[in-house]
Amino acid sequence: MKQLDRFFCLSQRGTTLGREIRGGCTTFCSMAYLVLVIPGLLSGAGMDFGEVMTATCLAAAAGSIVSGLTSNLPFALAPGLGFTTLFTYTLCQQYGCTWQQALALVLLSGVLFLLLALSPLRGRLSDALPMPFKFALSAGVGLFLTLSGLINAGLITADNNLVDMGSLAAPGTLLALLGIFLTAVLVMKKVPGALMLGMAVTIALGIPLGVTALPETLTAAPTLSLTALKPDFAGLLALGPIPLISALLSLLVSQHFDALGTLLGVAGDAKLTDTTGDLPGQREAMLCCGAATCAGALLGVSNVTVTGESATGIREGARTGLSAVVTGLLFLCLLPFMPLAGVVTGAALAAPLVMVGMSMMSGITQITWKHVEISLPSFLMIVGMPFTFSITTGVMLGVVSYVVVMVCRKRAHLVDPALYLLAAVFILNAALGALL
């Protein structure tokens, strides 16, 4: 116990072994659905469902464990849903890549991400963000998580770019509402493990209601063949220079700001950042994202990133990398029992994501709303994340609008040069995407 305390700085960060284990378990429960959703999306690109399921577990396990040990931050890693969607629908279906060629693009973007994380530019980009933007990041990520939870639970529908209320007559939506209220009561009464307990009760109540589907079998042999180790680099040349550059730039920029936004947004709410809004261990966590993306591309999954669901474990009190290690070990334990991942329904996930999203909104009080050059970019960053369902797009709206407003206000000299570079990259990426 003393060795764990010393290695992970448990006492120094005001946490305990029990809190870290509980936080890691909560994060794992919130992420378990990825084991089924990621393969479902990648199978649309022609990949084998069972092999991708195994690869997802391995990538999440390895990324979370290594990140927890090296960064000592309570953030788990896994293949991102946004990247998986981009992999299938943009790279494979729109650009016409085979899944082998798309994996090659993922591998290249992972290498570029590693180089960026190792370079001084990574720190400059983080330091260049004004302090109010870091509070806006927290609020925007909170709304992003909340919307994700409500959509998965059916409380909100988002079809054909139209957002509407879900059917309250459906058992799943009623169960999600019950789970939210139940979890809120447990949180108010300060019950230890309130989020995880709320999820467990919601899952159990869903069985007689027909919402929670029990698996036909508890165990399944993991499958992973060498066919996944075939990223096709030669075939990328046939894409042409503009699609190739656009795809790589989209993956690189999205991964950097998806990870950075989640790290700073969630950590700021949990008081893990320092007085300047920076996060100790951020560099190591970003390096782990790059390394895990490279390994994941060889296994057969899309880009690996910091998961927003880590906020549920942090809400339970996790403050060190020990919780991420626990989450990773649980993914390893899940390998022979992967059918069990299906019991974690959208109705069960709604409550923890809504509660976390609510707590992350507190940072907006630190934004100076009377100054347009700060309030407008902050507002666009906050609403851009849930409205576009992209953390990266929210950051883009905030940064570009900040540069434009400051230039118009004749305060261009007050803008960090790194933000001009960042705005130019965002505009270039958007322009390349428009040409395709």
Handedness of CA 381, 384, 386, 388 (dihedral sign): negative
Give me the mean pLDDT over the 198-219 stretch. Answer: 89
Looking at residue 311, its pLDDT comes to: 93
CA pseudo-torsion sign 400, 291, 316, 331 = positive
* Top-confidence residue, 239 or 424: 424
Residue 84 neighbours by CB under 8 Å, 6+ apart: 37, 38, 41, 42, 301, 302
Q: Is the pLDDT of residue 241 over 60?
A: yes
Residue range 383-433, pLDDT digits in tens:
999 988 888 899 999 999 999 999 999 999 999 999 999 899 999 888 877
Percent pLDDT > 70 in the chain is 97
* pLDDT band with cut points at 50, 70 and 90 for residue 229: low
Whether 53 shows a pLDDT value over 70: the answer reads yes
Look up residue 70 and give its two tokens.
């090296």
Q: Give pLDDT, residue 60.
A: 97
* Whether residue 223 has pLDDT greater than 80: no
Separation of alpha carbons 266 and 153, rounded Å: 22
Confidence check: pLDDT of 228 > 60:
no
Structure tokens at 231: 């990223």
User: At what angle are helices 194-209 and 346-359 packed, to 10 degrees?
Assistant: 150
Over residues 346-375, the mean pLDDT reads 90
pLDDT value, residue 380: 96
Q: What is the mean pLDDT of residues 211-239?
A: 74
pLDDT value at residue 225: 65
Query: Does residue 376 or residue 157 have the better pLDDT?
Result: 376
Instruction: Give every CB contact of residue 58 below 8 A, 6+ residues apart in sequence.
Output: 224, 299, 331, 335
Q: What is the mean pLDDT of the chain?
A: 89
CB contact at 8 A, 254 and 83: yes
Residue pLDDT, tens place only, 137-187:
889 999 998 998 999 899 988 877 678 888 888 999 999 999 999 999 999
pLDDT of residue 171: 92
Q: What is the pLDDT of residues 293-304, one digit of tens each?
A: 999 999 999 999
Q: Does the pLDDT at position 277 exceed 60?
A: yes
Instruction: Report the alpha-carbon angle 51-56-62, nearest 5.
Output: 125
CB distance 270 to 135 below 8 Å: no
Confidence tier at 436 by pLDDT (50, 70, 90): low
Residue in 342, 262, 299 with CA at minimum distance from that of residue 67: 262
